[in-house]
Chain A
Amino acid sequence: MNDATPAPRATEPVAAAAPPGLSELFIAYALISLYGFGGVLAWSRRMMVEERRWLTPEQFNEAYALCSFLPGPNIVNFSVIFGSRVRGPLGGVTALVGLLGPPMLLIIVIGALYAHYGDLPALRRALIGVTAAAAGLIMSTVAKMALPLFRNRALGGPVIALATFGAIGIAQWPLPIVLIVVLPISLALAWVRK
């Protein structure tokens, strides 16, 4: 999308900071989940790459890609993989509880309140606005994530990304068919250039 634009001024994370302790890990994931209106991907990247600098943009992309191809919610998987990478199994559990605990409590309270005095039409109207904004936030996040790919122009990477995007986002071809074609090509190119 933004492949020709220069690096965004707001984000120049160069090196990763020291890995977090358990309480930092918990707080970071609790914040990601509580900020996470309209999806947690944007907030994870903001926290892990831009604010705390625990991961470089490339490391974030790699872990996110791995999680996207595993079954289960991808940022939930991400929290387990990152937490256990820096602090072992206990770190994985800590990150997971930080990510799921607060919104679980919140949604039960919201559900109970709604059962008593729910005004869902008003909330739905607000949600229409928030969803439109969330779509924009995902776009800018993907654009930032794609920067390393387009910057080092690794063999075929940008072409694969644009082709996948065009096939599913614009032509709306079925996902399994696109993956069966694109994934082997992408893996073969990566094998050649490794």
Chain B
Amino acid sequence: MKDSTGTLGTLAWFFALMSLFAIGGANSAVPEIHRFAVDVQHWMTDPQFSDIFGLAQLTPGPNVIVVTLIGYHVAGLAGALVATLAMCGPTCLLAFYVGRTFDRFRGASWQVALAGGLVPVTLGLTAASAVVVARAADDTWVAVGITVATALITYWIRVNPLWIFAVAALLGLSGLV
């Protein structure tokens, strides 16, 4: 950290750029973030990056907070703030204006058709992402059992999923999964 304004500036432009590529969630930008942080800027080593990614997965909240921890690692609290704002600011502004336009034309035929056309595709994509996550997570029959049990229980019973997560965490901790 020889030149902290320079570092903050780099964090700002890089993550602002990354936000535009993060279509369908922050995780789709992770490979490029990894390349830049580890190979180009040498902000951290490969194991440090995967530790940071692991910690972000363990922390509740949107996946995008992996960016907060990278910023913190690079330039402390200011870095955390700059990286997060850069990653979310431009796209939030865009979402604000698109949402507003969408609401202003509520009921217009193009608006109805756009919403009606995007919903089925999005549902298909989200269902596919659930399968992708399950395929990556379910290496053992116990893990498959946890996935299926969670799906059935949370579909049919109004239980707080945190209880299920607690049990699943304990099963994982004990090495059974």
Which A residues lie at the B interface, using CB under 8 A?
Answer: 1-2, 8-11, 33-42, 46, 50, 61-77, 80-81, 84-85, 89, 92, 96, 99-100, 102-104, 106-108, 110-111, 114, 118, 120, 122-146, 149, 154, 156-158, 160-165, 167-170, 175, 179, 182-183, 186-191, 193-194
Please tell me if the beta carbons of B58 and A110 are within 8 angstroms of each other in the complex: yes
Specify the main secondary structure of chain A where it touches its partner. Answer: helix
CA distance A122 to B175 in the complex (A): 9
Please tell me if the beta carbons of A143 and B155 are within 8 angstroms of each other in the complex: yes
How many residues of chain B are within 8 Å of chain A by beta carbon? 97
Which residues in B have their C-beta under 8 angstroms from that of A188?
Answer: 117
List 19 additional A-B contacts (Cβ < 8 Å) besides A40-B61, A133-B164. A37-B60, A42-B154, A65-B123, A71-B20, A71-B22, A73-B91, A89-B96, A99-B62, A100-B62, A104-B84, A118-B51, A120-B54, A133-B146, A133-B168, A136-B134, A137-B164, A163-B124, A165-B124, A191-B113
Tally A-B pairs: CB < 8 A: 362
Given contacts A77-B91, A129-B173, A165-B128, contact A107 B68 (CB under 8 A): yes
The smallest C-beta distance from B157 to any residue of chain A, in angstroms, reads 6
Given contacts A80-B95, A102-B61, A128-B143, contact A137 B119 (CB under 8 A): no
Closest to A10 in B: B158
Please tell me if the beta carbons of B137 and A135 are within 8 angstroms of each other in the complex: yes
Given contacts A77-B95, A158-B120, A168-B128, contact A2 B150 (CB under 8 A): no
